[in-house]
Amino acid sequence: MSHRPPDPKLLSINTATVRKRWNLGEIFEGCARHGIQGVSPWRDQVQTFGLTESAKMVRDLGFVVTGYCRGGMFPGSTPEEIVAARDDNRRAVDEACELGATCLVLVVGGLPKGSKDILGARAQVRDGIGELLDYARPRNMPLAIEPLHPMYAADRACVNTTAHANDLCDELGDDGLGIALDVYHVWWDPYIHREINRAGKKRILAFHICDWLVPTRDLLLDRGMMGDGVIDIPSLRAAVEGQGYEGFHEVEIFSGQDWWERPPDEVLKTCIERHQSCC
Ligand code: ZN
């Protein structure tokens, strides 16, 4: 099956992709220099660089902020931990609003420390998202649940399939709630196409791209550049765009041993090329 290359204007860079050698200001300048129109910054980078300054650069350079990374981490082992997560998530919504982000991405959290109760953690996640929706909806900041590959169920996110994310949208109501689909996390799922259809245009709030390397040498920091791994990215893009998704394709690569070590200008150039040739 052949696919037309994507519109180059739809490339977005998740700022984690070049975070090691550049600060956020340098990343924004670099993206602008390469003609990239979408960015998705991380909270720690924004905090280091300054929220006001970050928002000003976004406006001045005319970026679309295709997501703000990230809220979530809802489960806690004490009421105090749960309240702290709630308050921090509200601040994340406020920051996302100030940056004009299209959504706040939620990495929902895994098991509380010492717990083996994944069903309980999932219930905390549902309740946490429900509570955050009450805060985010009146501020018009959509929340995007990002299902993570099941290898992260214990420590990062106990929502591991698009079906589960769709179930949460069904239960909590999809006004201001949707899904961030990351090919790295969903490519293996035998039901992914069915669940993309079920999500539909309304729920697909973000589309993240990178590649799955074989072998994967590190659970977190060994994501591949598009084209270097085994993910059929064009078919997933066709599926989301088949639902009417018109948003950006956000490159998100954590690569401790490879891409983070390269000159960021080379990384951005490669992202632009591979977006055209492999997505
Ligand atoms: Zn992602």
Is residue 174 situated within a structural domain?
yes
Looking up residue 130, the CATH number of its domain turns out to be 3.20.20.150
Task: Inform me whether the pLDDT recorded for 181 exceeds 60.
Answer: yes
Is residue 189 situated within a structural domain?
yes
User: If you write DSSP's letter for every residue of 96-126 in order, what string do you get?
Assistant: HHHHT-S-EEEE-B-PPTT---HHHHHHHHH
Task: Inform me whether the pLDDT recorded for 151 exceeds 60.
Answer: yes
Is residue 3 situated within a structural domain?
no
Task: Inform me whether the pLDDT recorded for 2 exceeds 80.
Answer: no
Confidence grade of residue 265 (pLDDT, cut at 50, 70, 90):
very high
Is residue 178 situated within a structural domain?
yes
Rg (CA), the chain: 18
Q: pLDDT digit string (tens) for 39-64? A: 999 999 999 999 999 999 999 999 99
Give every CB contact of residue 139 below 8 A, 6+ residues apart in sequence: 93, 94, 97
Q: pLDDT digit string (tens) for 23-35? A: 999 999 999 999 9
* C-alpha 276 – ligand 1 centre gap (Å): 19
Give every CB contact of residue 257 below 8 A, 6+ residues apart in sequence: 217, 218, 221, 222
**Number of structural domains found in the chain:** 1
Is residue 78 situated within a structural domain?
yes
pTM of the predicted model as reported, rounded to 2 decimal places = 0.97
Q: pLDDT digit string (tens) for 156-180? A: 999 999 999 999 999 999 999 999 9
Cα(124)–Cα(36) distance, rounded to whole angstroms? 38
* C-alpha 187 – ligand 1 centre gap (Å): 12
* C-alpha 20 – ligand 1 centre gap (Å): 18
What sign results for the dihedral spanned by CA atoms 4, 5, 8, 11? positive
For the purposes of burial, counting CB atoms within 10 Å of the CB of 56, is it exposed (0-12), middle (13-18) or buried (19 or more)?
exposed
Per the structure, the complete domain to which residue 238 belongs is given by: 8-278
Q: What pLDDT, on the 0 to 100 scale, is given for residue 1? A: 46
* C-alpha 252 – ligand 1 centre gap (Å): 6
Is residue 202 situated within a structural domain?
yes
* C-alpha 146 – ligand 1 centre gap (Å): 7
Task: Inform me whether the pLDDT recorded for 15 exceeds 70.
Answer: yes
Is residue 1 situated within a structural domain?
no
* C-alpha 141 – ligand 1 centre gap (Å): 18
Cα(91)–Cα(113) distance, rounded to whole angstroms? 24
Is residue 149 situated within a structural domain?
yes
Q: pLDDT digit string (tens) for 230-256? A: 999 999 999 999 999 999 999 999 999
Cα(269)–Cα(193) distance, rounded to whole angstroms? 31
* C-alpha 202 – ligand 1 centre gap (Å): 18
